[in-house]
Amino acid sequence: MKRFPSTGNPIYPSIALVLFVILWEVVVKVKDIKEYVLPAPSAILNEFIKSKDLLLSHSITTITETVLGFILGVILAVLLSVIMSNFKIIRSIFYPFMVLSQTVPIIVIAPLITIWFGIGIVSKLIVCVLVVFFPVALSLTEGLNSYDRDFEELLKCMNASRMQIFTKVKLPSALVHFFSGLKLAAAYAVMGTVMSEWTGAQKGLGIFLTRSMKSFKTAAMFADIVIISLFSILLFAIISIIEKKTIKWELKG
């Protein structure tokens, strides 16, 4: 059977990105597009240099909120998923609400949370936890209930404990689902934090973006967006590396 070439080589997307940036720069210069409409990449780079201290300060705030919210969201998701996998009555109560929650956009909930909990770090953590919690909980719950029943019966015949069945059967089969949920949550965690900062904050990339927009500082907005994107990619990459180290047998199979 013919095998397709690997798509994991970073050279090709890197070349495409460089060509895109060059084309962007040329088009802006040739068409003489105003900076407040579409800044050239060189103008965005200049904004990075000019506002590096301010961008760093706001970035630290957003990164701190995101990391804390991500960790809390994952812990809560794992706890509830394990409970639901062991107690069907708990699963039947909470699982439908977890699915239903995904139909409500976080942009609708974020302003309410800001009103209820203020513009401090608490509201940012709550929004981030909500964004992270549901994809991880849904994926892990599904994974913990998709194990090999025959293997479970075999271990029961060997007088295995519930903990042994969980660690030897349920958990290994759930790891792929768990990391899928983690990567999805990583892609949205920074977005959730920034969105909560839009609705009210003292510091953070979200409030920096709002202030830049009101001042028509488009280059600053692009600089902010680049940082948000890079941090999301970094978080996703870290989880992908951990996944490869943790479930090598799945990737080899």
**Surface-to-core class of residue 117, CB atoms within 10 Å of its CB (0-12 exposed, 13-18 middle, 19+ buried):** middle
- Band of residue 245 on the pLDDT scale cut at 50, 70, 90: confident
CA distance 114 to 196: 7
**Surface-to-core class of residue 142, CB atoms within 10 Å of its CB (0-12 exposed, 13-18 middle, 19+ buried):** middle
Express each pLDDT in 198-231 by its tens digit: 888 888 998 999 888 888 889 999 999 999 999 9
> What DSSP character marks residue 202?
S
Q: What pLDDT shows up at residue 2?
A: 41
* Under 8 Å between Cβ of 128 and 106: no
- Band of residue 155 on the pLDDT scale cut at 50, 70, 90: low
20 falls within a domain: no
221 falls within a domain: yes
Q: What pLDDT shows up at residue 12?
A: 81
* Under 8 Å between Cβ of 148 and 173: yes
Q: 65 is in which domain, residue-wise? A: 52-252
Total of domains in the chain: 1
235 falls within a domain: yes
- Band of residue 89 on the pLDDT scale cut at 50, 70, 90: confident
Q: What pLDDT shows up at residue 253?
A: 43
113 falls within a domain: yes
CA distance 155 to 146: 16
28 falls within a domain: no
41 falls within a domain: no
Q: Which of 88-102, 126-140, 227-241 has the lowest mean pLDDT?
A: 88-102
Rounded percentage of the chain residues whose pLDDT exceeds 90 = 32
Cα 145 to chain center, whole Å? 24
CATH number of the domain that 81 lies in? 1.10.3720.10
User: Which amino acid would we find at residue 214?
Assistant: K
CA distance 61 to 56: 9
Q: Which of 133-137, 160-164, 171-175, 197-201 has the lowest mean pLDDT?
A: 160-164
**Residue 68 pLDDT greater than 50, yes or no:** yes
